[in-house]
Structures are given as structure tokens and as C-alpha cells.
Amino acid sequence: MATKSPMHDPKLDPMIDPRTGEYAVIAPGHNFKSVTQKIAGIVLTSNTPLGWFGGLMVAGGIATLLVVALTWLFLKGVGIWGVTIPGAWGFAIINFVWWIGIGHAGTLISAILLLFKQSWRNSINRFAEAMTIFAVVCAGIFPLIHVGRPWVSYWLFPYPNTMNLWPQFRSPLAWDVFAVSTYATISIVFWYLGMVPDFGTMRDRAVMPVAKYVYGILSLGWRGSTRHWIRYETASLLLAGLSTPLVLSVHTVISFDFAVAAMAGWHTTIFPPYFVAGAIYSGFAMVITLAVPIRKFYHLEDLVTLRHLDNMAKVMLGTGCIVGYGYAMEVFMSWYAASHWEFFMMWNRMFGPMGWAYWMLILTNLAIPLTTLWSRKLRVNALFLFMLSFVINIGMWFERFVIVVTSLYRDYLPGSWGTYRATKWDYMTFIGTWGLFTFLFLLFVRFLPMIPMSEIRMMLPQTKIRRGGEDAEKVIQETV
């Protein structure tokens, strides 16, 4: 993924490799000590930025909406939501699929790019993995509260009991339980394993006894020996191999929630790849949403460079094209199937009472991104990508809204047609999960290393050799 500057002379811009004209993955001038000091200093500092406290307070206040909404929901029941018949799936399932989709970029960056030995992943994989875990936490809330009796949600798991009660394994909703729980487990283990070497560094650099004790426990006795590194790298590759099929399987299983139903607008074989591409599309948009303010606030432009932003924009461009192909196939198959129901469903989606939502998703998912991301100048413009990432995630939410609501509210019998209007409790629950996600992410940024120091340090000698062509042994000695 070469990224050549359209605006700068490679001889004058230190962020551009003078030999290849590509943006650097790491800014020149770093050595082992400077990388460690910069990343560990964010966590081990005693002077926490006031902006962090302000963000935490705002996020906590928004998360309070979730607590209030869930408390009232448990007291009154799901009748406080806007779900009706035939529109029995509303915000809960829309938001569930949307949050799970956001969590896909972290696993793709961590696992698939690791297996393909893409070095540009190293500066962004840690907070992308954290984003995955927090997004799955937010997503898991919605199916539990949607069942109406969250206190018996453990019935979804197979376990021996005197009632001989077992899950309905033919239901895709039961498949979701196993897919999402497996995905969350592997993601947490992969995330934690990657931090073990950095925990060892934090333990050795910490001054406060409590920090030394906590990071010492989390480091699992890491000494940085050859045996430890061999086991660490072997475990990382094994977990990457396990995580890679999960990127494809989790959202495929979630697409089966719709695709196995005999419902016009849902019963289609294109849903699995279409959902996976859409998940990666929205997931990378969320990574950019987080990366741009983080690199600005903590002055990490030399570690999270324009090379990373450009490569992520290219991934969004590719997956956006796949999503656009999925939209086109939906329209084509509604005509080619020669089914009155399918044709009416698509016509109603476009021109019915909720047609505005369909054209909003076309505008935000296709028209704006796919006409701008072809420009290299815009792909390396941090402010533009930040705004575009918001546009894409709004569009991906509308995509789920269109799939769920406009396929249900006008079904086969005109006598049962209805409409869907979300209530304030729907909005409070959704907005509250945004607060929860941001609150957890801010805690992660403050107390854990958000960029993997060990992986960045391993890249430094190779980066210097590629940029200057010096002797490898000399470069390594100078770097140390």
C-alpha cells in the first residue's frame, strides 16, 4: 500500500521516505528509549490532562442515560419502546448489529494484517482491539434486554438442568449467542496477550508502588527472555489464526438472523458477504474517528502517521465498493426474482413513507465516501477523514434501520400494516451506549498503553535501514 505525497517534495518532508516517496510508518528520529518514554509517559504520568477528565465526565453523564433507560425498562417492560406488530424488531436489533459491525475492524487489524505481515498495523492495532471489546460490550446489552426477561438470559446457553430445557439450536438467535461470546473471548485474550510485554515495561518504569504491583501482576512475570518471546509470538500467531475466521463468521451468523427468514427483503444469499463488508467498512470508520483526535490530543502524529490514515481510507474505499455492489444486487434481485412481494418491498423502501431513510443511506454510504476517497489529497487529510468517518457510521446505522424496519412494517397482509416510531427510551438507550463506549475507551487510554511499545521498537532498525541504507549492525547499535 504505497502512499506517495501529492504535495510535498520528498527531499524536504521528513515524513516521506526519500528513496520511495512513501509516507513513513514511523517518523524519523525515534529510538528505543524515545518510543518507550512517549508511550509509557501517557500512562505513568502524574499530571493527567484536564481534557481527559472533562471527556470522562461528559461520557459518564451520557452513560447515565443508559442506566436510567434500563432501570425504567426493567420496571415497565419493553412496551416503553416503539416496537409494535408487525415491526417487532426496532432499535434494539438495529443497534446490536451496528455495534457488532464496529467491532470488526479491531480483529481484522490485529489478526489478518498480522498474518500478512503488514507493519502499518502496529501503531493502531492496540486501540482498535480495545474498540472491538468495548463495542461488543455495548452490542451485548441489546439482545439481552430485547428478550424482555434478561434475568433468565442464561437459558440461551446449554447446561444441564432439571427442566430439561435446551436452546433452540435451529434458531439463528441462538447462533448469535455462541458466535458473539466466542468472538468476545478471543478478542479479549488476544488484546491482553499483546499487552504482556508492555506490562513488563510499565512494571519496570513505574514509580508508585501500587502501579508497580498492578502492572507486575498483569505482566505474568515477563522478563523479555528468548523463551518468553518465542512463546509470545507463537501464541500471537495461533490466536491470529483463530481470530481470522471469526471476522468472517460472526457477522455472517448475524446476517442469518435475517437471511433464513421467509421475509421479503431478508431472504437473500448475498447477506453474509454484504454484512461482513459493511462491518469492516463501519469498523475502520470508527478506528479513524478514534485515531484522529487521539493522535492530536496526545501529539502522536509521529507514530500514527498519514500512512496509517491513508491505508485505512483505502480499506474503506474497497469495502465501500463491496457494500455498493450489495445495494445494487438487492435492487436487481427484487426485479429478477419476478416476485411481487420482493418488488413491492424494494419500491416501498425507496418511495414509501420511510423512503427518506433509504436515500439517506445511499447518500452517506455511497455518494459521499465513494466520490471523495479516490482522491489521495483527501485520504491524507486528517480533518476530512474524521468528518467522513462520522458520515459513514451514520450511513451504516441507517442501513441497519432500513433492513430491519422497512422490511417489517409493511408485510404480506395490508390489514396488518403499521409504522415504527422510536420513543425517547429508544434514543436514551442508544445514546447511552455511546457514553458507555467512550467512558470505557477513555479509561483504557489513561491506564493502559494504547500503542504497543514492543512492536514499535522492533520496527525501528528495519525502518532506519530502509530509509538510509546504512549497515544493519551499526543502525541497531545507534538505536539502542
- Band (472; pLDDT cuts 50, 70, 90): very low
Helices and strands, number each (H, E), in the chain: 19, 0
- pLDDT 10s digits, 341-365: 888 888 989 998 888 999 999 999 9
Q: Determine the pLDDT at residue 218.
A: 93
DSSP code at position 88 = -
Q: Determine the pLDDT at residue 2.
A: 45
Q: Determine the pLDDT at residue 315.
A: 92
- Band (117; pLDDT cuts 50, 70, 90): confident
- Asked if the model's pLDDT at residue 467 lies above 80, the reply is no
Q: How far apart, in whole angstroms, are the C-alpha atoms of residue 136 and residue 114?
A: 22
For residue 247, give the CATH number of its domain.
1.20.1630.10
Higher pLDDT, 408 or 288: 288
- pLDDT 10s digits, 141-158: 998 888 878 888 888 888
404 in a structural domain: yes
Q: By the 8 A CB rule, do 349 and 406 touch? A: yes
Q: How far apart, in whole angstroms, are the C-alpha atoms of residue 317 and residue 313?
A: 6
- pLDDT 10s digits, 172-211: 888 888 888 888 999 899 999 999 999 999 999 988 999 9
130 in a structural domain: yes
Least confident stretch, 44-53, 176-185, 229-238, 462-471? 462-471
Q: Determine the pLDDT at residue 15.
A: 66
Domain that holds residue 447: 32-479
Measured at the CA of 126, the angle between CA 120 and CA 127, to 5 degrees, comes to: 105
Residues written for the chain: 480
- pLDDT 10s digits, 384-408: 999 999 999 999 999 999 999 888 8
Find cell 463506549 and name the residue: 437
Q: Determine the pLDDT at residue 99.
A: 93
Q: Determine the pLDDT at residue 6.
A: 46
Helix (H) / strand (E) element for 71: namely: helix 50-76
Tell me, yes or no, if the pTM score tops 0.85: yes
**Average pLDDT over every residue of 37-41:** 88
Residues 6+ positions from 257 with CB-CB distance below 8 Å? 93, 97, 172, 173, 176
26 in a structural domain: no
Q: By the 8 A CB rule, do 138 and 286 touch? A: no
Q: How far apart, in whole angstroms, are the C-alpha atoms of residue 155 and residue 341?
A: 36
Beta bridge partners of 4: 22
288 in a structural domain: yes
Q: How far apart, in whole angstroms, are the C-alpha atoms of residue 299 and residue 196?
A: 25
**Average pLDDT over every residue of 49-62:** 93
What is the number of structural domains in the chain? 1
Q: How far apart, in whole angstroms, are the C-alpha atoms of residue 148 and residue 62?
A: 24
- Asked if the model's pLDDT at residue 7 lies above 50, the reply is no
Least confident stretch, 9-13, 244-248, 278-282, 345-349? 9-13
Least confident stretch, 135-139, 264-268, 344-348, 379-383? 264-268
DSSP-based three-state secondary structure for 207: coil
Please say whether the dihedral angle defined by the alpha carbons of residues 255, 260, 266 and 270, taken in this order, is positive or negative: positive
Q: Determine the pLDDT at residue 79.
A: 87
89 in a structural domain: yes
Q: How far apart, in whole angstroms, are the C-alpha atoms of residue 178 and residue 173?
A: 9
Q: How far apart, in whole angstroms, are the C-alpha atoms of residue 25 and residue 230?
A: 25
Q: By the 8 A CB rule, do 369 and 320 touch? A: yes
Beta bridge partners of 22: 4
- Asked if the model's pLDDT at residue 475 lies above 50, the reply is no
Higher pLDDT, 137 or 105: 137
294 in a structural domain: yes
17 in a structural domain: no
- Written as nine digits, the cell of 66 is 443508559
- Count Cβ atoms within 10 A of the Cβ of residue 343 and give its class: 0-12 exposed, 13-18 middle, 19 or more buried: middle
- Written as nine digits, the cell of 293 is 483526535
Higher pLDDT, 449 or 474: 449
Which residue intervals of 337-423 are DSSP H helices? 340-351, 355-362, 369-372, 376-379, 382-408
- Asked if the model's pLDDT at residue 24 lies above 70, the reply is yes
5 in a structural domain: no
